[in-house]
Amino acid sequence: MEEALINIKNTALSFILETDDPKNLEEIKLQFLGRGGKLTLAIKEITRLPQEKRREVGMLANEVKQTIENTISERLQKLTQKKHISLSKKLDVTNPGAKPPLGHLHLVTQAIEEITYIFEHIGFSRVRYPEIEWDYYAFTALNFPKDHPARDDWETFFIKEETNPKMGEILLTPHTSSGQVREMQKKQLPIKMLNIAKCYRRQSDVSHTPMFHQFEGLVMGKDISISHLKGTLDYFVKSYFGEKRQFRIRPYHFQFTEPSFEVDVTCGVCLGKGCKLCKAGWLEMGGAGMVHPNVLKFGGIDSKEFTGFAFGWGVERVLMMKEGIEIDDLRLLYSNKLEFLEQF
């Protein structure tokens, strides 16, 4: 009798585990546990056994019944789950293929690459200097007086660290001009430096972000004059914005250049006629000038023998001045919003 029960169990289990169809499980259940089922009939036989055997065999029969029932419900669960997954993953080979999404460089990185390419073409070498900088290189060595407003907490991010008697405080560099004296101290003349880097200022609105990029040029050697600066400006403006765009220089004041200029470029929409966007036809690009003799002194260069020009412009700014690019809020550039970034 025990052997018969074990056989029933094994047969039932092998049927249950071999089927892939939930409907078969129902049939198997009837076949073994239904009214005329194999196990039901076997259980009826137990009453015929001698009294002392009935209890033991009865327990075994119960265990077999439990095992069959449990295995059926487990299998049923597994099959319905599996079916669900295989349906959703079903592959229709007649469907057209889906292209994997392709990323591209960030708009600002694209601009940096383009600017680098333009200047490398006329012999500039790309350099980078610390973003976390001494006050000395950002201000003192650039001829800024002690009480200049740029040194205010409201303009520049200062870092709470011990100050250095010569170098002063540590700060996040507010402009790439901090690379000028570092470059001069290398004592490798002539200089044709292009410093493109992140800069930081306490500002955040539609046209400013606390972190932004500048590109700084420094050219130094014998007989370097304003004509070289103007030639370089003309070359850059035509290469980056296109042949139709003009530039002009206006007298201005910077601590580290004398004379200093503000450089304007004709608006890309009206080409200088004046329109809603630019009003008078010109857009301001940034500063430039002839390196101040005091700055040369800080750089350890004899101002009687060498002269130089410098310029420093915002990458995001020149990008916005390019034709066909209109960004209402500059902060979008750093928001990581793919719907915005994918447009470029």
Of the residues 9, 75, 175, 245, which one makes contact with ligand DAH according to CB under 6 A: 175
Task: Pick the stretch among 18-26, 124-132, 252-260, 293-301 that binds ligand DAH (CB under 6 A).
Answer: 252-260
- Whose Cβ is closer to ligand DAH: residue 69's or residue 155's? 155
Supply angle C-alpha 232, 233, 236, rounded to 5.
85
Q: Report the alpha-carbon distance of residue 305 to residue 287 in Å, rounded.
A: 25
> Could you tell me which stretch among 28-36, 118-126, 236-244, 283-291 binds ligand DAH (CB under 6 A)?
283-291
- Alpha helix locations (H) across the chain? 2-18, 22-33, 38-46, 51-88, 107-120, 135-138, 179-184, 226-241, 293-298, 315-321, 338-341
**Exposed/middle/buried for residue 70 (C-beta within 10 Å: 0-12, 13-18, 19+):** exposed
Dihedral sign from CA coordinates of 280, 285, 290, 291 = positive
| Out of 71, 156, 177, 209, the residue judged to bind ligand DAH by CB under 6 A | 177
Asked whether position 37 contacts ligand DAH by CB under 6 A, the answer is no
Contact between 209 and ligand DAH per CB under 6 A: no
Residue 133 β-bridge partners:
171
**According to CB under 6 A, which one of 156, 209, 257, 307 is a site residue for ligand DAH?**
257
Position among 183, 216, 264, 316 found at the interface with ligand DAH (CB under 6 A): 216
Stretch that binds ligand DAH, among 187-195, 272-280, 286-294, 327-335 (CB under 6 A): 286-294
Alpha carbon distance 218, 213 (integer Å): 17
Decide: is 289 part of the binding site for ligand DAH (CB under 6 A): yes
Give 8's strand partners.
Answer: none
Count of residues engaged in binding ligand DAH, rule: CB under 6 A: 13
Nearer to ligand DAH, 177 or 307 (CB): 177
Which residue, 157 or 344, has its beta carbon nearer to ligand DAH?
Answer: 157
Contact call for residue 179 and ligand DAH (CB under 6 A): no
Render the burial of 187-212: b for 16+ CB within 10 Å, e for the rest: eeeebbbbbbbebbbeeeeeeebeeb
Is 310 an interacting residue with respect to ligand DAH (CB under 6 A)? yes
Q: Which stretch binds ligand DAH (CB under 6 A): 114-122, 153-161, 235-243, 307-315?
A: 307-315
**Residue 288 touches ligand DAH, criterion: CB under 6 A:** yes
Whose Cβ is closer to ligand DAH: residue 175's or residue 245's? 175
Q: CB under 8 Å to 43, separation ≥6 — which residues?
A: 61, 65
Q: Is 312 in the site for ligand DAH (CB under 6 A)?
A: yes
Are the C-beta atoms of residues 143 and 292 closer than 8 Å to each other? yes
Q: Chain centroid to CA 249: how far?
A: 36
Distance CA 170, CA 190 (A): 30
Q: Which residue ranges make up the site for ligand DAH (CB under 6 A)?
A: 175, 177, 216, 254, 257, 260, 286-289, 310-312
